[in-house]
Amino acid sequence: MAARPNILFIIADDHRYDAMGAAGDQVVQTPALDALAQAGTMMASTHIIGGVSGAVCIPCRACVQTGTHIFQATESQTIDDYARNNVISQGTHTMPFWFRSHGYYTHAIGKWHNDRDSFTAGFCSGSALFLGGMSEHQRVPVFDYDGDGFHPPEEPRLETRFSTELFTDSAIDFLEQYSGEEPFFLYLAYTSPHDPRTAPEPYASLYDREQIPLPPSFMEEHPFDNGELDIRDEKLAAYPRRPEEVRGHIADYYAMITHMDRHIDQVLQTLAASGNLDNTIVVYTSDHGLAVGRHALLGKQNMYDHSIRVPWLIRGPGVPAGRRVDALAYQFDIFPTLCSFAGMEPPDAIAGQSMAPLIRGETDEGRPTVYALYKDIQRMVKDERWKLIRYRRSAATGRGSDCLQLFDLANDPWELCNLAVLPEYCAQAERLEQELADWMKRVGDPFAELFG
């Protein structure tokens, strides 16, 4: 039996699916990620499922770690119950736990936004661990971890190296020093390109804030109240949105991405120098996307593709090079897919499906539909062509709108023309609404009746 491959799992924070050269962006500079895509496979239509927390990263990270949807992944689905929304369900096996229990040495670096018990069950060790949501990039509170617990044991130490550099240096140290007989599972979680978007020079000045193009979906105001127009993320710029301010946000976002890309390149160079590149499955993804000026939005608390689609690049033994897969997938499919490439069975009864046959070209069929949710105010269903978003007013806050959007993504990829208002598209809307209702009941969505 061939030796099992190592796993290098890299996850960014807020990196939108198309903000890479390999995904078609002609402005942002991502040579390392482009090379990773060329050396492996790009899963170009990968979706998050969302959750009931305004901090969307919490449920998304729980889902990717458990390989299942949010109603199985966490202990609480009470809206914004941050103390319990981040707690991974008892009896649910996380990805690091599963690989550890199958003979892998598991090590974590960077952001962990779920509970400590699930961390300690999954990882043998960790360094430069940020146990939180966000911080200043040059004032990062971190712990280290070994079998005796977290160090320092009480308060974290404060690191003044830029977060991306701090986490990269820790990853390089691990790759250069690891000499165990077991294959390793290295979890590297950057906090970039999350705000505050304060990339160091020369990256901060790399993009011309006056010339950077606006997206076709730029708007001064969102066309209706989606229920979250006054959340923190949306207050990072003034209403109505001004082109010059949005251009500045895009420039800063791209600067953070390019800076991170440079450091990912250093990690991959170190992996190659260690002699482990050819026997390591490398995955790159992000916890969710981000609007950054599209649809007059800045954040991720919405159901448009810019916020619910994420990068998924994979390369390594058994993964075809230079392949792009446009079939629908979920981010939580990554866990069972890695199990397939490592010759392991995934945990029973998870919602994730291995995409290994799709990646290897053994089939061209992904998921027929994907779904997403946000709090009690937004639900989404999407197939290979059509997308429907259902909105409702929250009884708790009074915010939001009872309305419907239908997009023909084949002809309207920027989601600008709402066809739900046209009688000739009633049948499409009704079909998708029924599929959405069936899904909500199937997964135990506690708000299913409210959307009925």
> What's the 3-state SS for 390-424?
EECCCCCCCCCCCEEEEEECCCCCCCCCCHHHCHH
Total count of residues recorded for the chain: 452
Residue 304 in this model has a pLDDT that exceeds 80: yes
User: Percent of the chain beyond pLDDT 70?
Assistant: 100
Are the beta carbons of 57 and 132 closer than 8 angstroms?
A: no
- Average confidence score pLDDT of the chain: 96
| Whole-number Å distance between alpha carbons of 72 and 354 | 18
Whether pTM exceeds 0.95: yes
Phi, psi (deg, nearest 5) at residue 435: -65, -40
For 237-293, write each residue's pLDDT tens digit: 999 999 999 999 999 999 999 999 999 999 999 999 999 999 999 999 999 999 999
Q: String of b and e for 101-126 (b: at least 16 CB within 10 Å)?
A: ebebbbbbbbbbbbbeebbeebbbeb
Q: What is the model's pLDDT at position 2?
A: 61
| Whole-number Å distance between alpha carbons of 5 and 104 | 10
Q: What is the model's pLDDT at position 228?
A: 96
Average pLDDT over residues 292-299: 98
Closest CA to 343 of 363, 316, 312: 316
Q: What is the model's pLDDT at position 120?
A: 96
Residue 46 in this model has a pLDDT that exceeds 50: yes
Residue type for position 418: N
| Whole-number Å distance between alpha carbons of 452 and 448 | 7
For 198-229, write each residue's pLDDT tens digit: 999 999 999 999 999 999 999 999 999 999 99
Q: What is the model's pLDDT at position 81?
A: 85
Are the beta carbons of 182 and 103 closer than 8 angstroms?
A: yes
What is the C-alpha R_g of the chain? 21
Q: How far, in Å, are 19, 47, 54, 165, 292 from residue 93 at the CA level?
A: 32, 21, 25, 31, 34
Average pLDDT over residues 85-101: 94
Average pLDDT over residues 18-43: 98
| Whole-number Å distance between alpha carbons of 2 and 299 | 45
Are the beta carbons of 25 and 18 closer than 8 angstroms?
A: yes
Residue 452 in this model has a pLDDT that exceeds 80: no
For 139-172, write each residue's pLDDT tens digit: 999 999 998 999 999 899 999 999 999 999 999 9
Q: What is the model's pLDDT at position 341?
A: 98
Are the beta carbons of 421 and 406 closer than 8 angstroms?
A: no
Are the beta carbons of 16 and 46 closer than 8 angstroms?
A: no
Q: What is the model's pLDDT at position 222?
A: 98
Identify the three-state secondary structure at position 334.
Answer: helix
For 310-344, write each residue's pLDDT tens digit: 999 999 999 999 999 999 999 999 999 999 999 99
Residue with tokens 């397939």: 340
Phi, psi (deg, nearest 5) at residue 188: -120, 110
User: H or E segment at 34?
Assistant: helix 31-39
Identify the three-state secondary structure at position 323.
Answer: strand
Are the beta carbons of 440 and 451 closer than 8 angstroms?
A: yes
Burial status of residue 198 (CB atoms within 10 A of its CB: 0-12, 13-18, 19 or more):
middle
DSSP designation for 162: -
Q: How far, in Å, are 182, 242, 298 from residue 18 at the CA level?
A: 36, 23, 16
For 389-417, write each residue's pLDDT tens digit: 999 999 888 999 999 999 999 999 999 99
Average pLDDT over residues 418-443: 97
Identify the three-state secondary structure at position 258.
Answer: helix
> What order of strands is seen across the sheet that includes strand 370-374?
50-51, 370-374, 378-382, 386-391, 403-408
> Sorting pLDDT into bands at 50, 70 and 90, what band is 1?
very low
**Higher-confidence position of 31 and 78:** 31
Are the beta carbons of 327 and 358 closer than 8 angstroms?
A: yes
